[in-house]
């Protein structure tokens, strides 16, 4: 049975979730259900599932949006904002600190060795994510065709990621079997709610961009705003789906960091609490670090975090009163199923992109054989039993350290 709870009591639980939210979206969502539904009964299991369903439909990190919705469900808008912040701030602060260490000390042999071993572990994590999503999302030939087209579109044709997502959603509506028809629950009488939510948040994002531009200038701040705000609106399917877009822009277009450094950022995001999309904080840090130094990196990393999550807050708070209605829309579910199928192909492209950066940094003629051996070892371990992601990262770091101390690298 649901219970009334004070905001202070709920905040202690939200902060606990934020500090313990390792293991990616699945583990984070399970932690929220255990803490809020199973242990305390603050929200019913049915409502929890409805909130999760809508969070998965909206662009943005579903775990953070679910945390925000749970806070809204218990204490309204203020509760939603505080719950969402409690989920992301601990990891964001830690990510900024780790990004500074990686930027300042990444060339030190000992630190470089740690990242050397971590990179093959992360490749196994990405491959496992693609396999897990594939088992869930590829239920038939139509889904497999969407995944193949998404892979070819981004790998061979170089189509923009937003176009891939839009095409996948349309293909889902046209090709996939409609969900069982249900009578939609009438939307609550909240006239003007959408405008009252979207307009202030949009104005706040625009005001932040303008203030930064007037105070600090255009570069690299316009690029940070453009990349991470646009990424926030096309981040369907989780962080792995979004990473190719962010990596391509941050590495190839803006040149803030290398592909290998982006892979290191993904490793750090895997090993720290909070949503995996905090890898954007890492990439944003390098936008300021490159040519400007640490304080500028802290500013651009913080801005990248705000531009990534502000639209996510806006969308879930706008949708919050309509969760029961949106959860019953079959067309939305078809579109989401199409996007989920496409994400399998997108993650496969990401795996190939990162593997080339890690295993063939100077081309096919000079493969990194120690990394390939570690990749085979970690892959065999992952097939043998489901090793937690953060333990794979720790094992990779220890393996890199051992290779360094023995003189193998």
Residue whose entry in the numeric block shows the structure tokens 């789906």: 241
Q: Which helix (H) or strand (E) holds 226?
A: helix 221-233
pLDDT-derived band of residue 326, with 50, 70 and 90 as boundaries?
Answer: low
pLDDT-derived band of residue 383, with 50, 70 and 90 as boundaries?
Answer: confident
- Tokens matching residue 336: 């989401």
Q: What is the pLDDT of residue 335?
A: 80
Q: What is the pLDDT of residue 285?
A: 96
Q: What is the pLDDT of residue 23?
A: 58
Cβ atoms of 257 and 223 closer than 8 Å? no
Q: What is the chain's Cα-based Rg?
A: 21
pLDDT at 323 over 60: yes
Q: How far is residue 317's CA from residue 319's CA, in Å, rounded to a whole number?
A: 5
- Tell me the three state secondary structure of residue 118: helix
Instruction: Kindly report, residue by residue over 393-403, the tens digit of the pLDDT.
Output: 788 889 989 99
Quick one: the chain helix, strand, coil %, rounded to 5? 80, 0, 20
Q: Euclidean distance between the first and final Cα of the chain, in Å?
A: 58
pLDDT at 263 over 90: no
Please give the average per-residue pLDDT across 190-204, as a whole number: 83
What is the share, in percent, of the chain residues with pLDDT greater than 70? 91
Q: What is the pLDDT of residue 84?
A: 94
Q: How far is residue 378's CA from residue 388's CA, in Å, rounded to a whole number?
A: 12
Could you tell me the residue ranges of all domains in the chain? 7-87, 121-361
Q: How far is residue 345's CA from residue 154's CA, in Å, rounded to a whole number?
A: 9
Q: What is the pLDDT of residue 50?
A: 75
Phi, psi of 214 (to 5 degrees): -70, -35
**DSSP letters of 134-197?**
HHHH--SHHHHHHHHHHHHHHHTS---HHHHHHHHHHHHHHHSPPPPP--PPPPP--TTHHHHH
- The distance of Cα 12 from the centroid of its chain, to the nearest Å, equals 24
Q: What is the pTM of this model?
A: 0.76
- Among the listed ranges 84-98, 276-290, 343-357, which one has the minimum average pLDDT value? 343-357
Instruction: Kindly report, residue by residue over 270-302, the tens digit of the pLDDT.
Output: 777 888 889 999 999 999 998 788 889 999 999
Cβ atoms of 270 and 393 closer than 8 Å? yes
Q: How far is residue 284's CA from residue 300's CA, in Å, rounded to a whole number?
A: 5
Q: What is the pLDDT of residue 1?
A: 43
Residue whose entry in the numeric block shows the structure tokens 């806070």: 71
Mean pLDDT for the chain? 83
Q: How far is residue 101's CA from residue 391's CA, in Å, rounded to a whole number?
A: 21
Q: What is the pLDDT of residue 274?
A: 82
Q: Who contacts 139 (Cβ-Cβ below 8 Å, separation ≥6)?
A: none
Q: Which residue has the higher pLDDT, 188 or 194?
A: 194
Q: What is the pLDDT of residue 191?
A: 61
Please state, as a whole number, how many other Cβ atoms lie within 10 Å of the Cβ of residue 40.
15
pLDDT-derived band of residue 242, with 50, 70 and 90 as boundaries?
Answer: confident
Q: Which ranges in 185-293 belong to alpha helices (H)?
A: 193-216, 221-233, 239-247, 259-271, 279-292
Phi, psi of 228 (to 5 degrees): -80, -25
Q: How far is residue 27's CA from residue 16's CA, in Å, rounded to a whole number?
A: 14
pLDDT at 388 over 60: yes
Residue whose entry in the numeric block shows the structure tokens 């049975």: 1
Q: Which residue has the higher pLDDT, 285 or 234?
A: 285
Q: What is the pLDDT of residue 22?
A: 66
pLDDT at 354 over 80: no
pLDDT-derived band of residue 387, with 50, 70 and 90 as boundaries?
Answer: confident
Instruction: Kindly report, residue by residue over 123-170, the tens digit of the pLDDT.
Output: 887 787 778 768 777 878 888 899 899 889 888 887 877 788 788 889
Query: Burial, 136: exposed, middle or buried (Cβ in 10 Å; 0-12, 13-18, 19+)?
Result: exposed
- Among the listed ranges 75-89, 153-167, 250-264, which one has the minimum average pLDDT value? 153-167
CA atoms within 13 A of residue 236's CA, in its CB half-sphere? 27
Please state, as a whole number, how many other Cβ atoms lie within 10 Å of the Cβ of residue 391.
14
Q: Which residue has the higher pLDDT, 323 or 153?
A: 153
């Amino acid at each position: 049975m649901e219970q009334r709870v004070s905001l202070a009591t709920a905040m202690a639980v939200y902060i606990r979730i934020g500090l313990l939210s390792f293991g990616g979206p699945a583990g984070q969502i399970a932690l929220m259900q255990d803490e809020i539904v199973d242990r305390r009964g603050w929200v019913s299991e049915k409502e929890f599932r409805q909130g999760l369903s809508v969070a998965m439909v909206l662009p943005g990190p579903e775990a953070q949006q679910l945390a925000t919705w749970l806070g809204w469900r218990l204490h309204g808008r203020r509760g939603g904002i505080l719950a969402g912040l409690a989920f992301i701030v601990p990891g964001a602060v830690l990510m900024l600190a780790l990004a500074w260490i990686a930027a300042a000390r990444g060339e030190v042999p000992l630190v470089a060795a740690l990242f050397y071993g971590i990179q093959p572990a992360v490749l196994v994590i990405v491959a496992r994510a693609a396999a897990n999503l594939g088992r869930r999302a590829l239920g038939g030939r139509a889904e497999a065709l969407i995944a193949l087209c998404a892979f070819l579109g981004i790998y061979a044709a170089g189509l923009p990621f937003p176009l891939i997502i839009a095409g996948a959603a349309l293909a889902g509506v046209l090709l996939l079997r409609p969900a069982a028809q249900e009578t939609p629950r009438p939307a609550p009488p909240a006239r003007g709610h959408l405008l009252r939510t979207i307009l202030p948040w949009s104005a706040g994002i625009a005001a932040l961009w303008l203030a930064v531009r007037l105070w600090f200038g255009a570069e690299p701040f316009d690029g940070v705003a453009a990349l991470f705000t646009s990424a926030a609106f096309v981040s369907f399917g989780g962080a792995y789906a979004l990473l190719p877009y962010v990596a391509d822009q941050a590495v190839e277009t803006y040149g803030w960091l290398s592909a290998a450094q982006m892979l290191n950022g993904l490793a750090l995001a895997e090993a720290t609490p909070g949503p995996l999309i905090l890898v954007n904080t890492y990439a944003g840090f390098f936008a300021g670090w490159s040519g400007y130094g640490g304080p500028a990196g802290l500013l651009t990393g913080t801005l990248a975090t705000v531009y990534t999550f502000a639209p996510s807050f806006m969308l879930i708070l706008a949708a919050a009163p309509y969760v029961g209605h949106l959860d019953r829309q079959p067309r939305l579910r078809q579109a989401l199923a199409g996007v989920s199928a496409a994400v399998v192909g997108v993650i496969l492209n990401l795996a190939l992109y990162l593997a080339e950066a890690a295993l063939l940094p100077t081309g096919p003629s000079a493969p990194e054989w120690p990394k390939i051996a570690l990749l085979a070892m970690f892959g065999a371990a992952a097939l043998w039993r489901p090793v937690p992601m953060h333990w794979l990262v720790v094992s990779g770091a220890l393996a890199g350290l051992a290779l360094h101390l023995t003189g193998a690298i």
